[in-house]
Amino acid sequence: MTMNRKPARIAVIVSSALALALGVLGGPSAAFAAPLPGTTHETQMGMHATGFDEAVAKAHGYRIVTYANGDQQSVPIDPQSKLPKSLIVHPQPAKSAAGPERQARPAAANTDYNEVWGNCGRSWIRVAQTGTDQVGIVSGFSNTPTIAYFWIWDVLLSDQNGTSHQTYDGAIFDDKATHVWLGLTQHGYTYDYVYNGGATLIDGTICVSGHPDVSIYL
């Protein structure tokens, strides 16, 4: 992973904008809350685009345009530029065609893996037992439409003793990112998942993680 060399001030702005976007969207409790009467309720399963960060877009030669139907897109400021346009973000994005969120794959030993896909790529998580009542968690994303500039990740761990959060954030310059948490204590049946997370792409697109989940018995 190549670290971005842009000024730290911009990274702080991006972090704040992404955190605000994730805060507005909320965690799983908000995502699955009952819709208000007369509203359309849609659930995004995989990593998906929710909007744009105009400051990041401008810093990388893009501007955000809004079409007559309310759709938004990040496009090059210079019409002669060869920079690619972003994906189009709809006011109410259609549900991802990735299928059910739970797509666990069989794995060796005491470990579990899951991934979810959306129009912003793949978000994933793996848990593995590393010792007596000890686990390691590795999670991240990949296959974003263009290079990501900053990311924030929050994994929730739960077991018979309660819950805890493992978090990470940082600047990047890649279409993928991974972080490892080691030395975590869990007991009995575990249920761990990406509680909240996202990445800001260089064209300003804000991608939100989705909630891949894993479970093992210790």
- Give tens-digit pLDDT for 154-168: 999 999 999 999 999
pLDDT band at 94 (very low <50, low <70, confident <90, very high): very low
Say how far apart CA 141 and CA 178 lie, in whole Å.
7
pTM for the full model? 0.70
207 lies in some domain: yes
76 lies in some domain: no
151 lies in some domain: yes
φ/ψ region of 26 (left if φ > 0, alpha if ψ in -120 to 50, else beta) reads left
129 lies in some domain: yes
217 lies in some domain: yes
Instruction: Give the E-state strand segments of the chain in sequence order.
Output: 48-52, 62-66, 72-76, 111-118, 121-131, 134-142, 148-159, 162-174, 177-185, 191-201, 205-208, 213-214
pLDDT band at 17 (very low <50, low <70, confident <90, very high): low
Average pLDDT of the chain is 79
Which domain does 151 fall in, by range? 1-31+45-58+104-218
pLDDT per residue as tens digits for the range 194-204: 999 999 999 99
